[in-house]
Structure 1
């Protein structure tokens, strides 16, 4: 930690350093910087989506077929994030599935192993994402890239919802404690509006359609909000694992909407 005044660059570096494998140094870290980093999460998502869309396009060009191209794109996202969000999804599923009181559920989530509920959550979510992305690719390569971008960025925007000021941390330490309650509602609302507009524009530019693009963002964020309320009620607040689960849930829900029609 340094004595200099934190700038926007610190938050952006922290966002990329925390939410991706990109080797970024972030010397200045405090709750204010951490909150700004979570607000910048959609920017990280846009970069990762671009890289994953490139993998998908290359696979389609090579003639792998839409399904394998979708799997490779999702696999590249997992590599680009160290599997961080998928790990969070599995841990949250194990904690919720245990049916135990919050302290015991949190201990289960912190364990290094993965239980049956975590396995089921991972398999189901990845199958849904792969099937939906394959369906979107059936409309064309541009539609596949647009669907991937909308879903991934929506997932990262969901992380910000978990960091709203009214949301407490379930633990006194960890990522959740650092970012819980750091984002004002106006910041999350502004991100949602901008993202919905951008998704509508991407949809209008492709066969996905403007309405489907905007609806995908809305449904994705609503799904994440519902999960957030449930986890806060069960665990007493958020953890870093909860933020990862929100991202994967929102992305999957958005992809399902984009696969329709």
Structure 2
């Protein structure tokens, strides 16, 4: 029974970390369980992606699809507490305004948002909305699932490289290799997302193309940030999620 309790606790902690959904409680926390939650990031993305797809389907039943898309993106920002959107804005501010690694990190810690961050956030949301509004409804639903899963899997893989900088921060204690369990869970989540995509008529080649573009966009971003600040922060990883998700949607709409 202990392994089952650990599995339930780790997945609940991962869902708590990446969303505001009311799951679990303080009693499920332990440092060992906390260190393993990146293994579940892909599965959390699957839950969030299915929620987003359901919201879009319901919204499009009574509203024009572009309106339903904007409302769905707004709902998901509320569900996640704007965690990744905040990371994107702070990280781009730091990268754009910090001439030295120290200054870049200082800007990222600042709660205020600058012009670089505003532009990056607006561009990302507009691109996501435009891509989803341009797709057939079934494609858009599948795209949401794939983007949510793959972008959070990218975060988990990046954390597993052990380059987290902050001694105290959102990712503290999470930067350990995923190991066989984490890789299996991540691949399972991606496979499930692709299965949903198949059911919603997304071509396999389009999904593969989207994931390649998604991985490339996130990888380039992490390469640039690591060159500048010599590692990762919660903000740069949150930005990687937003970039990965946006690039995934661009890859899918490019197939139309």
RMSD over aligned CA atoms reads: 2.3
The answer to whether the aligner puts 1:145 opposite 2:144 as a matched pair is no
Query: Is the deviation greater in 151-160 or in 79-88?
Result: 151-160
Per-residue deviation, residues 101-154 of structure 1 (Å, max 9, x unmatched): 112111111111100110010001001100111112xx2x32221111011111
Decide whether aligned partners of structure 1 residues 29 and 107 sit closer, same or farther in structure 2, where only a CA change above 3 A counts: farther
Contact kept? 1:11, 1:40, Cα under 8 Å: yes
How many residue pairs were aligned?
251
Q: Which has the higher contact order (CA 8 A, sep 6+)?
A: 2
Query: Is the deviation greater in 70-79 or in 47-56?
Result: 47-56
Instruction: Report the Cα offset of residue 190 of structure 1.
Output: 4.4
Instruction: Report the Cα offset of residue 26 of structure 1.
Output: 4.3
The answer to whether the aligner puts 1:22 opposite 2:21 as a matched pair is yes
Q: Give the match for residue 3 of structure 1.
A: none
Contact kept? 2:146, 2:197, Cα under 8 Å: no
Instruction: Report the Cα offset of residue 197 of structure 1.
Output: 3.8
Instruction: Report the Cα offset of residue 162 of structure 1.
Output: 1.9
Decide whether aligned partners of structure 1 residues 213 and 23 sit closer, same or farther in structure 2, where only a CA change above 3 A counts: same
Query: Is the deviation greater in 212-221 or in 142-151?
Result: 212-221
Q: Give the match for residue 95 of structure 1.
A: 94
Contact kept? 1:169, 1:237, Cα under 8 Å: yes
Q: Indicate the SS of the match to 2:171.
A: helix
Alpha-carbon distance in structure 2 between the residues aligned to 1:193 and 1:18: 20
Q: Give the match for residue 155 of structure 1.
A: 151
Q: Give the match for residue 47 of structure 2.
A: 47
Structure 2 gap ranges (5+): none
The answer to whether the aligner puts 1:173 opposite 2:168 as a matched pair is yes
